[in-house]
Structure 1
Amino acid sequence: MSQTLAVVGIGMEGRESLTRRALAIVLKAEVLAGGARLLDLFPEVQAERVRIGSHVDEVVGSLASRLGEKRIVMLATGDPNFYGITRVLLRHVPRESLTIVPNVSAMQWAFAKVAEPWEDATFLSVHGRSMERLPELVRGRPKLCLFTDETNSPSAVARALLEAHIDGYRAILCEDLGGPAERITRTTLAALVELKADPVNTLILLAIQDAPEVGATWAPGLPEEAFDHRTPHAGLITKREIRVLSLAALKLTPRSIVWDIGAGSGAVAIEAAKIARDGRVFAVEKNAEDVAIIRGNVTRFKVGNVHILHAKAPAGLETLPDPDAIFIGGSSGAMRAILVEASRRLRPGGRIVVNAITMETLHEAVSVFRDLQFDHEAILVNVARSKPLQGKLSFEALNPVYIVTAWRAGDRELLTHLQN
């Protein structure tokens, strides 16, 4: 008896969408699982029928325990690997025990119906998920396609975007594709707010040419004036030149988990969040006034993936997920304790970057990294900015800053191997 579980995708045209191979797999099933609508497509199949409803994990776990007893076939809509059942299956069934026969996904159908190429589209799902970060994920993307649900409906999506001052998109709402109530509506976000969509829908967003939120670009090194922060004499903000070099040293990826310890105004956290747009950034700050400033800056720059922790590190760090990158802009005298905890939690291949203004802080950081047997390097950055002086060009020096970068011994060789 087969030791595999077969998953067959059903397209919008029902059983007519199946290839000969896919249909043969379904007809030979001894256990046929799927939603009621899909099961009804094969009344002639003499198999035990397992209806998959709301308790998906429970049903899949039960089916997985029966591998090898009978030929088990699961019916799915479209492509099971695209926001489909495969993720749940992999929690219960080894990859080598899965046979997946995909079909055309709802996303592909939608783009086909409106004759729009989709290789350059961004695909998102708000089906059963929070929409908190939706504006951030949409902003700047020229073409998107979204799965929605009855709560996070196309109307709710449009409302969330407009509330975030994002209105530079045309909407194409595709409802009940392949069904009796098929309808395609081309509209604006403002009009979409008023529409009640069929629960079975796909939403396409196309950027309006020259819309400011779509064409806007960002590069690391925003001027200090872009952020709210305490005055230079009372508080601190990482200067843009130092910020750029520190961010480069962190080697962030779009999915990085970042700690910004001693976050101050949140400038580093916010720019890190722009790079790690699909990751998360945790700004840790002990001063209540600065925490309020960070919140204001996060709102201003609309970076929903920045989370603020009001604590004096290393307190509170145990509540955060393990990081890929750690920036330390201030330690409040707890440098050793912070670095020990950071080194313990840092993921493989991760980086720690310390900004030090004094020789004492530099020495302490380097000393701890040596004790921890971390590889490290330090650079001294002297920056002078031009300023007008009686019609002539003059320069004003900023305070020199030491940037210390550390990584676990052997990680550089690991990264080199992975890159090759």
Structure 2
Amino acid sequence: MLKVIGIGPGRTEWLPPAVRDLAMNCDVLIGGSRALKLFPDFLGDQHCLTGDLKASLEVIRTALLAKKDIGVLVSGDPGFFSLLPRLKKEFPGEQIDVYPGISSLQFAFARAGLPWQEADFVSVHGRDLSVLPTQIRHLTGVLTGGTNTPQRVAQFYLDLGQNPNISVGNALAYPEELWQTMDANHLAQEAVPLKNAILILHPELTSVIDDQAKNSANNVRGGRIGIPDQEFLRGNVPMTKSEIRVQVLAKAQISRSDSIVDIGAGTGSISIEAAGLVPEGVVYAIEHNPEAQALILANQEKFGVSNLHLIPGSAPDVFPELPPVNVCIIGGSKGRLEDILLNVPLLEDGRIVITAVTLETISQGVKLLSELDYQDIEIVSLQAVRWQPVHNLHMAQALNPVFILSARKGVRS
């Protein structure tokens, strides 16, 4: 009997006991050297898969004639770009039992915190890059390999005049794992070797959207601020209210060609409004919460904002992915405000705006900005009250008070 066994990422801790038992009960194990090392106590015959696939097929054929149970170990899941189709073609009359593993696609989307039931996927390993979609209308998983590196995929889209966000997973589950999201322009210039990485292409914002979203997109592109809260997709993620967003953006003193970083972007409401103010610039939204990351991308698509780039992760850990910026907006620091202010790549004379809801945070912010020689430090405390209709009356609905701390980075003499 022939068993095709998925070993997932190829790490012992990701190997289910059922799969381990299946492999150990085979008479013959066939797989790559890394796969075979997962079963150091296996006492049967072993054959290491190499580039000479014909030799391996002959080993399988001989073992089948001897009525032996053969386990073929494949990385990831057998149903996702594995050796399974070739085995079914070579041994059409044999019973082939297939046992699933965690695919690289599953692992990558899990790392990104994104659902993948409606995603597209394609492999460019050993194939021409022309198999890639020329318009990215859905989340798309891409297997790379050989000469088709992630950098070449990024250049493919740059040559089409596009600059999509691309998540890159390399050596997933291994100590040297790399997981980053960047735009195609940055990825094309990435110097780190990326071998057999999996990519997630984020949808191009030329996708068809409904009339309401189109109207919203046009308004955002025109510099619309104070967008009503209900227009944003919210989920269970906190969002800066429209009255506060207007003041934050006013204190940021944004110019048309500015580069902006929004730290703790939440649903992306500030990032999206800021993007409308910089038609010649760019906004980088840093967010560590997977649900919030998905909402940022969903709101980005709804409002048709093409100059917004999501950077999953926490500040200041992801600052190496940032270019120098003119404006830094901090909505959440996770207790790391000092590290953020010390390391943010803010240009001289750049503006910084910090929002806080506690006296302690605003006090720490003022102290740090003073110590770091920021200029024009200003504190504003706001509490908006909305008057909501109740029958034929209007009742006060107070929003939480918010501190807005703003300053300008001093120019070195």
TM-score by length of 1: 0.47
TM-score by length of 2: 0.48
